[in-house]
Amino acid sequence: MASNGYDVIIVGGGMGGLNLAALLSKEGRRVLVLEKGGRESLGGRAASGKVGSSAVDNGIKGLILAGTQDEVFRRIGKKLPENVCRWTNSGQVHMNGEWRKLDEIVRGSIGEFAKVYMNTTSEWSYDEIEGINDVSIEEFVTQRTDDQGVIDFFRYLGWLFGGTLSMPLDYSAGSLFYSVKKQFDTLGRYPSQSYWVKGGSGAIAGPLVEATEENGGEIRTSCSVSRVVIERGTVRGVDVEVGSRRVPTELVDTERIEAPVVVSAVAIWDIFNILSEDDLSPWYADRLRHLHRKTLNLATLTYGHTDRELWDFSGPRWTQEGPVSGRPWCASDLEYGEDESEYQVTFWMQLGWWDKPNVFEMREASHKAALERLFDDFEGDVRALFPGIVEDSKWRLRSFGPATIMETPGYVGSSLVDIEAQGVDGLYLIGERTRAAKVMGVYGAAQVALAAAERILAR
Ligand SMILES: Cc1cc2nc3c(=O)[nH]c(=O)nc-3n(C[C@H](O)[C@H](O)[C@H](O)COP(=O)(O)OP(=O)(O)OC[C@H]3O[C@@H](n4cnc5c(N)ncnc54)[C@H](O)[C@@H]3O)c2cc1C
């Protein structure tokens, strides 16, 4: 049995795990991070790959809510990579067969718009905003105005925050306003600009790894945790797989590493790979299962270009109904390349749990075929609305995967699980959509890590 005197074991080297590791090791805790992927996969779903000289992301297209991640970097004494996003969110929307500027949709209704948007953000407290967690954006806005421009704007704003969701009915007003207020309070501006860092989203992981190791933390990669060890309601450590499989079905040996605190920083849908439902209280286990079913998948199409005539760089585009796919999606340009003459145009489409194919059924051939069709139709939309992009691209990348847990009324705030696992002393769960995350995505991972660090340091 190996103990080595670790104070905290963190399972998973994604943004949640790395943020927490950096924060705890800065405060002198002996931290061990265990990541099943190789060193290049530190950062998890936010890690970036490379095509030629360009960094490409696993679909991450905007690090929303700059604020919580900045806070972590401030505490660990590191600098965030440079923001290379040059446009604001005021792009164009394709509706009823034509492109319309988002600003123009709102301009005529600015008074009404300010009443709903600015007043809610600036005059409501966080508690009041959390009081509307279970109210949809659509419901919230239509109760306050019958101005169609304003209603339309919030519909697209729902898209901005929820991506391309066609259903503002399914997006929580509390969640939206919490994100906006948080950004306004921490950075002094409304989310008018996205935050894309030089080197891709994965560039945020580097300084977190560095800070952890500089402060005596340990990060083991290619190390898969097979289970969290819990005895009589108390965490004892983890079992990790040792050696590699000689045949795919081999049951490999495990080694136990002990620690009084174990943090699961794996995505919520992976939790039952390392924990038994019986270890948790029935309510808690049931709630986790439920969240799993609210997963939102993202399909992205990215094209690499050197011809700057192909994209007009006037900001992002939203499509209400793709001419071939019939689905809503967003598009924008990215300039990630070390080679300044190269840029990327990326298109992303969200698929809810109600949609097929479901990412969790992807091992079935029929679902793989459905996914191929989806991408072919998606590319058909791009060909129709942006001539030249598909035909003249230097490279193309298709990606599909679980992006987040949907911020649907009934699935935010107090209805979510706490980071301290009910029923087990010393076990923390920091996967997204735990109650402390408040906001989604990479900044949610930073926020939940800040909350977990506070609780663990207070033990
Ligand atoms: C296609 C796509 C687009 C996205 N777009 C955006 C965006 O625009 N903006 C935004 O803010 N967010 C976006 N997100 C969401 C963002 O990537 C995630 O919210 C965030 O990266 C989650 O971090 P995490 O640490 O909680 O989880 P993960 O990144 O999933 O990290 C979990 C880690 O645990 C490891 N692990 C799992 N099981 C084990 C085990 N048994 N043993 C050891 N290690 C294990 C995994 O390998 C992984 O590295 C997107 C995600 C996807 C997939």
Condensed to tens digits (0 to 9), the pLDDT of residues 174-225 reads 888 888 888 788 777 766 666 778 888 888 999 999 999 999 999 999 999 9
The pLDDT assigned to 159 comes to 53
Using only C-alpha atoms, the chain has a radius of gyration, in whole angstroms, of: 22
The pLDDT assigned to 162 comes to 45
Main-chain dihedrals φ then ψ at residue 423, nearest 5 degrees: 100, -5
Question: What is the CA 355 to chain-centroid distance, rounded?
Answer: 19
Residue nearest to atom 18 of ligand 1 (CA): 441
For 66, counting Cβ atoms within 10 Å of its Cβ (0-12 exposed, 13-18 middle, 19+ buried), the class is: buried
The pLDDT assigned to 245 comes to 86
What's the longest Cα–Cα distance across the chain? Answer: 69
Ligand 1 atom nearest 225 alpha carbon? 42
Between 110-123 and 173-187, two packed helices, what is the crossing angle to 10 degrees? 80
The pLDDT assigned to 58 comes to 75
**CA separation for the pair 329, 249 (Å, rounded):** 40
Q: Which of 219, 201, 207, 164 is nearest to 331 (CA)?
A: 164
Q: Where are the alpha helices (DSSP H) in 132-269?
A: 137-144, 148-162, 173-187, 205-214
The pLDDT assigned to 1 comes to 42
Neighbours of 395 (CB within 10 A): 14
Which protein residues touch ligand 1 with a CB less than 6 Å away? 11-17, 34-37, 41, 44-46, 58-64, 224-225, 265-267, 270, 273-274, 298, 300, 399, 401-404, 431-432, 441-443, 445
Neighbours of 89 (CB within 10 A): 20
Ligand 1 pocket: which of 11, 45, 48 to mutate (most atoms within 8 A of CB): 45
Low-confidence residues of the chain: pLDDT under 70 = 1-4, 59-66, 86-89, 106, 155-169, 190-194, 335-340, 352-364
The pLDDT assigned to 95 comes to 78
Q: Which of 157, 67, 71 is nearest to 118 (CA)?
A: 157
Neighbours of 449 (CB within 10 A): 32
For 399, counting Cβ atoms within 10 Å of its Cβ (0-12 exposed, 13-18 middle, 19+ buried), the class is: middle
**CA separation for the pair 59, 334 (Å, rounded):** 12
The pLDDT assigned to 93 comes to 83
Per DSSP, the three-state class of 426 is coil
